Amino acid sequence: MKIGILSRKESLYSTTRLKEAGIKRGHDVRIINPLRCYMNITSHHPAIHYKGEELLGFDAIIPRIGASITFYGTAVVRQFEMMDVYSVNESVAISRSRDKLRSMQLLARRGIGLPVTGFAHATKFTSDLINLVGGTPLVVKMLEGTQGIGVVLAETRKAAQSVIEAFRGLKANILVQEYIREARGSDIRCFVIGGKVVASMMRTGGEGEFRSNIHRGGKATMIRITPEERSTAVRAAKIMGLNVAGVDMLRSNHGPVVMEVNSSPGLEGIEKTTGKDVAGLIFEFIEKNAKPGKTRTRGKG
């Protein structure tokens, strides 16, 4: 099969591993920078050009669209869908999962456990917003933030008011969430492929750090998840419409709560921690599912 990996950087661990895994399984794999693609949007012959040539003959694509290029990246994915190329994660699902507010509303509507969450743009009633999520300590997040950037733990009411007012001064949309104290700075990353959790790990924040992101000094260990956690991860990925997803959860006193559903989960942490060939499992999924006409949205999103 001819498979494209949409990634801006060939040297990234995830991109390199995907290419290696695809070639090992006998596929023709090509890395394509989505920002270097340009498109002919027409009814009869939608096309994508790249480095002066038309991209033809692809059976499937693996989108690795970074948060900063979601708008253009999903437009490229949508164009591939219009050309009847199978996308591991479809454009609509990627856009849905990238919008933190939209994704949380969809998960809440379907009964997925979530931290108590408030959303605001420019409210002057900061005290009421803090009360909405049960008081302090609480976590304030910029809606557009990724990888732990724009996430602040406010331990006192005064600190919470200061942070919220600072974000308000930036005219930023913010989420205010209860702090799950019992999680003790740890979260669970479940890697879901095709409706199954294929690997999972626990990430714990570094000394004095409540964010568990590995690139921020967090440590990862293998973990045996509960049936409820497995079911929650699978359901969350399905609600987002993602075939491949990293579902981040916290263990709370009232069961697992979902923090985020990631459409381009990194492979390095999960593969090195669990020893599993996750990249190979993604290609195994493609081999079973990449057929013409299998893309549900066909570029309609």
Q: Where are the domains of the chain?
A: 2-95, 117-179, 182-284
Question: Residues 3, 30: contact at Cβ < 8 Å?
Answer: yes
Q: Which amino acid type is present at position 39?
A: M
CATH class of segment(s) 2-95: alpha beta
Domain 117-179 annotated CATH 3.30.1490.20: yes
Place of tokens 């895994």: 21
Superfamily of domain 182-284: ATP-grasp fold, B domain (3.30.470.20)
Closest CA to 151 of 132, 122, 179: 179
Torsion (CA) 89, 90, 96, 98 in degrees, nearest 10: 50
Q: What is the pTM of this model?
A: 0.88
Per-position pLDDT tens, the chain of length 301 = 999 999 999 999 999 999 999 999 999 999 999 999 999 998 888 999 999 999 999 999 999 999 889 999 999 999 999 999 999 999 999 999 998 889 999 999 999 999 999 887 766 788 888 998 988 899 988 776 555 567 888 989 999 988 888 887 777 778 899 898 888 888 999 999 999 999 999 998 766 555 555 555 578 999 999 999 999 999 999 999 999 999 999 999 989 999 999 999 999 999 999 999 999 999 999 999 997 666 666 555 5
The DSSP output letter for 24 is H
